[in-house]
Structure 1
Amino acid sequence: MEYAGRGDPVRTLALLWDGLPPPKRGPRHRLHLSQIVDAAIAEADMAGQAALSMRALAQRLGIATATLYTYVPSKAELLELMVERVAEGQPLPPPETGWRRGLRDLAESDLVAYRSHPWLLQVATARTVFGPHVLARYEAALALLDDAGLPARDVTAFVAAVDSYTRGAAAAVVEAEQAPGQTGTTDDEWWESLAPLLEERMGGRFPRIAALETAGAFVVSDSTLPYTLRRALDRFEIGLDLVLDGIGARVDG
């Protein structure tokens, strides 16, 4: 797990908000900051955030590692720039969107981001990345509840509840999506090898599981996707409805 806020705060905020300062002397920068951050994201998408290093990034960019440090002082600042860059590409709900539709849209776009960039799940959220696009996203979420008549603490707590739920459910989706590649077996292969062995051991001992299975509790909505992935996606949708229903009960109350 990596934590934001470990870099120099002055340099971090300057890079997040202002970009690269012009060199005091010598030639102009050969690279734009966005090129560096996009390359870092591509490297993390391919190899994982833990495998990302300044040396590996410099090799991808075709520059010396020492040169890369003249752009970004360390991986700590780079990580925050990566999170901010992802937020920059995410859509925001229009101001006129109702709170329920808007919070759902934000959650679903976050799920897309987590699936596209699984390393985001390894960036701790205890300390916020204070980039303009990250903050704009938070501002948009809070604005959805402007007319709900809620206490101020409830507004921030409800937005946090949706965010926390989405992150947890997204982890299950990403795990299911990565399982075949990480284990070397498909869902069908895994289940075909396990099912007869389980039937021998479970038969008659767990009546509630058996009854719910017979009633269709473990059926997924789309059989074209791998089973565990589709189940995780179905549960994401059902769980998100539950969270939004809970917020709706407080708004209506």
Structure 2
Amino acid sequence: MAGVSTEDNGEGDPRRAIELLWGVSPAPRRGPKPKLRTADVVRAAVLLADADDLEAVTIRRVAELLGVSPMSLYTYVPGRAELIDLMVDHVHGELPAPEPGLGWREALTAVAEAQWALFHRHPWLLQVTTSRSALGPHSFAKYENELRAVEGIGLDDVEMDAVVGLITGLVRTTARSSVDNARLVRASGLTDAQWWERAAPVLAEIPAAGSAHHPISARVGTAAGEAHNAAENPGYTFRFGLARILDGIEVLVSERQR
């Protein structure tokens, strides 16, 4: 997000992260029974990230929220990098599978809408890079559901993966704009319409910024602003773009069936 740092997932020890994600426990240790479960630590970290952002998630702050010492958390997670992997996989568990019997367009739409909603519930997800996926059960199920939506419609495996990438990329990009806009409104105390009411009179005083010099942008910007009551509407862009991607896939599939 603009003004908010991004962080890589997959930076920790892959073996230990995967063991934690899939619940593969190391050999039992002697000593008192642990007070918490790893799932408790993950849920606490997600609460902190939801309330602020990913930078708020530190071992110290998670420990404070759980009422334990920071050192004791290393009993459950090796470090912050592995914790982020666990957090990502945990929230992926909120994504529902598309309803059985849907056509591929409806199924992909359901997948995209669910992910759009997930990014708005957990905006910190946009701070996590996606080049290395969290290799946990919920993230595997997410990818499986995405692929199942286009299974058997006439695409090869590489094309199926590319379609999923197009859809998830569109959702992520437009959700980022939506979340950034909402954050800017909160920070400035002004809606887009209120900000434009202040900016427009100033621009009107500058001839070079007028419609005579930029006729197309003036016409289109006015039409879009009136339609959205804002400089942009990421929700509209998301659904417009999704429909166009689906149209393109439909053309490709139809050509294959001739």
Do structure 1's residue 233 and structure 2's residue 235 form an aligned pair? Answer: yes
**C-alpha contact (below 8 Å) 2:224/2:231 kept by paired residues:** no
Do structure 1's residue 6 and structure 2's residue 11 form an aligned pair? Answer: yes
Aligned residues: 247
Distance in 1 separating the partners of 2:152 and 2:79: 43
AA of the residue aligned to 2:237: R
Change in CA separation of 1:38 and 1:22 when aligned onto 2, cut-off 3 Å: farther
Distance in 2 separating the partners of 1:249 and 1:208: 31
1:127 is aligned to 132
Do structure 1's residue 44 and structure 2's residue 49 form an aligned pair? Answer: yes
Change in CA separation of 1:20 and 1:44 when aligned onto 2, cut-off 3 Å: farther
Deviation of 1:76 after TM superposition, in Å, equals 0.7
Distance in 1 separating the partners of 2:55 and 2:243: 34
AA of the residue aligned to 1:74: G
Do structure 1's residue 58 and structure 2's residue 74 form an aligned pair? Answer: no
Distance in 1 separating the partners of 2:188 and 2:27: 48
2:3 is aligned to none
2:219 is aligned to 211
* Identity value in percent: 38
**C-alpha contact (below 8 Å) 2:225/2:231 kept by paired residues:** no
Deviation of 1:45 after TM superposition, in Å, equals 1.5
Do structure 1's residue 159 and structure 2's residue 167 form an aligned pair? Answer: no
**C-alpha contact (below 8 Å) 2:85/2:134 kept by paired residues:** yes
After TM superposition, the score normalised by the length of structure 1 is 0.90
Aligned residue for 1:133, secondary structure, equals helix
Aligned residue for 2:205, secondary structure, equals helix
Q: Deviations over 1:32-81 (max 9, x none)?
A: 22221111011111221123211111111110001011111100110000
2:91 is aligned to 86
Change in CA separation of 1:55 and 1:177 when aligned onto 2, cut-off 3 Å: same
Do structure 1's residue 33 and structure 2's residue 38 form an aligned pair? Answer: yes
Aligned residue for 2:226, secondary structure, equals coil
Change in CA separation of 1:63 and 1:9 when aligned onto 2, cut-off 3 Å: same
Moved over 6 A (4+): none
Structure 2 matches for 1:100-119, cutoff 5 A? 100-119=105-124
Which residues of structure 2 form unaligned runs of 5+? 1-5
**C-alpha contact (below 8 Å) 1:95/1:140 kept by paired residues:** no
Change in CA separation of 1:228 and 1:89 when aligned onto 2, cut-off 3 Å: farther
Q: Deviations over 1:106-151 (max 9, x none)?
A: 1111111111111111111111111111111111111121221112
Deviation of 1:21 after TM superposition, in Å, equals 5.5
Which residues of structure 1 form unaligned runs of 5+? none
Change in CA separation of 1:228 and 1:74 when aligned onto 2, cut-off 3 Å: farther
AA of the residue aligned to 2:224: A
1:252 is aligned to 254
RMSD of Structure 2 on Structure 1 (CA): 1.9
**C-alpha contact (below 8 Å) 2:37/2:76 kept by paired residues:** no
After TM superposition, the score normalised by the length of structure 2 is 0.89
Deviation of 1:209 after TM superposition, in Å, equals 2.4
Change in CA separation of 1:163 and 1:194 when aligned onto 2, cut-off 3 Å: same
